[in-house]
A and B are shown apart, each in its own frame.
Chain A
Amino acid sequence: DAGITQSPRHKVTETGTPVTLRCHQTENHRYMYWYRQDPGHGLRLIHYSYGVKDTDKGEVSDGYSVSRSKTEDFLLTLESATSSQTSVYFCAISENRSNQPQHFGDGTRLSIL
């Protein structure tokens, strides 16, 4: 299995609070991704990174920010959480070669009350 660790695995918080999710990889892969999974929508890309300090938006980036200061860590921040951000969040990594599949972490279940 790809060495991907997401933390925390579960979190419950209140509307308006800041939340940071962490993704840590031991594979030294260049690309890292954050997705959210919601019923009826599959997985939707929030943000991704193509190198240290290099990030770009995905299809559902509003309300989220990311940072990547080291190759191995990719942080997802909800500056002021809303109930619509209740979801399961997955981190993924991939190598810098064409047609390489992304490998996923086990997810963080986030509930915003």
Chain B
Amino acid sequence: DQQVKQNSPSLSVQEGRISILNCDYTNSMFDYFLWYKKYPAEGPTFLISISSIKDKNEDGRFTVFLNKSAKHLSLHIVPSQPGDSAVYFCAATIQGAQKLVFGQGTRLTINP
């Protein structure tokens, strides 16, 4: 049972445009969500997070939106840059549980 799903295995975006990566979850107990970025042959790197008490969190070019009623979160990258080409994982947890549940990942390719 996949509790966190990223239904798009890949996404291709032109440099300078907006990239939108989506993630759905099924467990209504999840109350903290994270996005990680992964380059080949490296470990995932933490990007941005959001608590369920918020519906938006921004950090520079990265914004995460949370829609609790739809059990959906999205990561917006604006403007997209070539260095953003990577695999992006969303993850969810219950605060205090210290365990993450990951989605399958979306490979983002930024085209010049």
Contacts and interface: CB of A to CB of B under 8 A. Distances in A.
Interface of A: 4, 31, 33, 35, 40-45, 48, 50, 58, 90, 92, 94, 98-99, 101-107
B51 A31 contact: no
Given A31-B98, A99-B49, A99-B51, A42 B104 contact: yes
A41 B43 contact: no
Which secondary structure characterizes the binding site on chain A? Answer: strand
Contacts of B105: 42
B41 A106 contact: yes
B104 A41 contact: yes
B49 A106 contact: no
B59 interface: no
B49 A101 contact: yes
Contacts of A58: 99
A106 to B, nearest CB: 5
Contact of B46 (A40, A42, A103, A105): A103
A50 B91 CA distance: 20
Contact of B89 (A4, A40, A43, A92): A43
B41 A42 contact: no
Given A42-B89, A101-B49, A50 B43 contact: no
Contact of B34 (A44, A90, A101): A101
Ordered nearest first, which 6 A-B pairs have the shortest CB separation? Answer: A104-B43, A101-B46, A42-B102, A43-B102, A42-B104, A106-B43
Interface string B92-112: 000110111111110000000
B56 to A, nearest CB: 17
B32 A44 contact: no
Interface string B34-45: 101000011111
Interface in B30-79: 32, 34, 36, 41-46, 49, 51
27 contacts: A4-B43, A33-B99, A40-B104, A42-B4, A42-B6, A42-B89, A42-B103, A42-B104, A42-B105, A43-B44, A43-B89, A43-B100, A48-B99, A90-B44, A98-B95, A98-B96, A99-B49, A99-B51, A101-B46, A101-B49, A102-B46, A102-B100, A104-B43, A104-B44, A105-B43, A106-B41, A107-B42
